[in-house]
Amino acid sequence: MRVALLGSGRGSNADAILRAQKNGQLGKAEVVGIFCDLPHAKMLELGPKYQVPALFLDPGPFKTKFSPEREQVWADTLQAAQVDLVVLAGLMRVIKAPLLNAFQGRIINLHPSLLPAFPGLDGIGQAWRAGVPESGCTVHWVNAQIDAGGHLGQRRVVRTPDDTLESFADKIHAAEHALLPEIIARLSLELPSR
């Protein structure tokens, strides 16, 4: 199963996936490309580190979505790379028709809350401010609604009295780094090939 990692930032989840691949823990999945919407994102540095192509692709002029023309370029680029599974690993943009149509039922996202609670931006901060006794992370299918696709797995994280927002976030990130590679490995055995 050929996997593309899409992101916007430092790439800690992409790093966890690539580390799992290096350690033989990604099932039949192979990361064939890292694609980033910001030209100087640290995520792009993972390419040389893991010998995986890493590419900046222009998203267009908007901050939280792609322009339709640019999203079509992204879809065409991923199709040309014969990608089977698209993993949103910290991509901070809403996905629309060009990518959804090209990879229907083959795009997953990692969200830092126990969905359906706290969808959208800053799931960790939302949970913290709400004072919930636990939160965590969810891997889900991507559809046209934000953070609304079917769940593939969740990890719970307990909020302890001595937690700060930073320590709580660190625990959730650790849960993300374990869950996402596990789900990709499972899908590599379950998803039919394209």
pLDDT, tens digit (0-9, with 9 covering 90-100), for 118-131: 999 999 999 999 99
Model confidence at 193: pLDDT above 90? no
Domain hosting 119: range is 2-190
Q: How confident is the model at residue 68 (pLDDT cuts 50, 70, 90)?
A: very high
In percent, how much of the chain has pLDDT > 90? 95
pTM metric for this prediction: 0.95
User: SS3 sequence, the chain?
Assistant: CEEEEEECCCCHHHHHHHHHHHCCCCCCCEEEEEEECCCCCHHHHHHHHHCCCEEECCCCCCCCECCHHHHHHHHHHHHHCCCCEEEECCCCCECCHHHHHHCCCCEEEEECCCCCCCCCCCHHHHHHHHCCCEEEEEEEECCCCCCCCCEEEEEEEECCCCCCHHHHHHHHHHHHHHHHHHHHHHHHHHCCCC
Pick the range with the lowest mean pLDDT from 64-68, 107-111, 164-168. Answer: 64-68
The whole-number pLDDT of residue 194 equals 75
Active-site position among 40, 111, 140, 151: 111
- Per-chain mean pLDDT for the chain: 96
Give the domain CATH number at 110.
Answer: 3.40.50.170
Domains held by the chain: number: 1
Annotation marks residue 111 as catalytic: yes
Tell me, what's the pLDDT at 132?
Answer: 97
